[in-house]
Structure 1
Amino acid sequence: MTEPFAAARQSRQARKRCPVVVATPLPVSCQAAARIFRPSRSVMTSARVTSRPWRLVFERRGPPVIEPLMGYCGGGDTLTQVQLDFPSVDAAVDFAENQGLDYVIRTGPAERPRPNVRDPFGKTAARSVPLQHQRREVKQR
């Protein structure tokens, strides 16, 4: 019964001798850079959303730090967690210029109109009238 406690006591003593390493993020630069873009629509929706807001996202100012104990990726830059939505690109640019941010505007490809899949006279048209089944006469003996 005392063996597990002895092993735990030995491991605690061994841990006390090991130096503690704390992951500290590198100092971040003062100047923040932002990226302004229009997010794409969710793939889970089929509707065309015309009122998608423009989003301002801050870029990472320093490299990520790997936490040594658990291996998690982290850092001291909390601006990467901030996302701001604006109704137009002009409003996002005005905000970035008022705050003194360096910014880049990313525009995606132009949305193509989707072809109409319901062509009433085409080959893929759904038939409103069911096909007539042909009767086969069975000869009786």
Structure 2
Amino acid sequence: MSARIYQRPKNAMQSGKALLDHWILEFVPAEAKRPDPLMGWAGSGDTQQQVKLTFPSKDEAIAYAERYGISAVVHVTPPRRLKLQAYADNFR
């Protein structure tokens, strides 16, 4: 059973930064999704795909994975670079 640990990304559609400091442990799918023959919906028998755990820090997420024997890969979020620009820069 393997999982990935990552920090929640900022929503591009909103300017708010709520819940960006939370870390998420999400299990990697064990089997591919396949279409249901009757309805055509995509699904699989792997119920671990539905589990998404949130933690207040990266260290707590890693400690949880180690405690329960989950091999986890940590994806570090790249630092945000602000592009400060004045309105007058449009006319240079």
Class of the TM-score when normalised by the shorter of the 2 chains: 0.7 to 0.9
Are 1:94 and 2:71 an aligned pair?
Answer: no
Corresponding residue number in structure 2 for 1:58: 27
Show the counterpart of 1:28. Answer: none
- Give the whole-Å Cα distance in 1 for the aligned partners of 2:11 and 2:18: 10
**What TM-score comes out, normalization by structure 2 length?**
0.82
- 2:5 aligned with 1:41: no
Q: How many residues align structurally?
A: 89
The percent identity for this pair of structures is 34
Look up the match of 1:112: 81
CA deviation map 1:33-92 (0-9, x unaligned): 110001211123224458520111111011222211121111111110111111111000
In the other structure, the counterpart of 1:69 is 38
Amino acid at match of 1:64: K
Q: Which structure has the larger Rg? A: 1
- Name the SS of the counterpart of 1:40 in structure 2: coil
Partner letter of residue 39 of structure 1? Answer: R
Q: TM-score, normalised by structure 1?
A: 0.56
Higher relative contact order (CA 8 A, sep 6+): 2
For the aligned residues, what is the CA RMSD? 2.0
Call closer, same or farther: CA 1:116–1:57 in 2, change over 3 Å.
same
> In the TM superposition, what whole-angstrom CA distance separates every residue of 1:95-135 from its partner, at most 9, and x where no partner exists?
000010011001122111231536xxxx35xxxxxxxxxxx
Superposed structure 1 runs of 4+ greater than 6 Å apart: none
- Aligned-partner Cα distance in 1 for 2:86–2:18: 19
User: How do 1:15-30 and structure 2 match up within 5 A?
Assistant: none
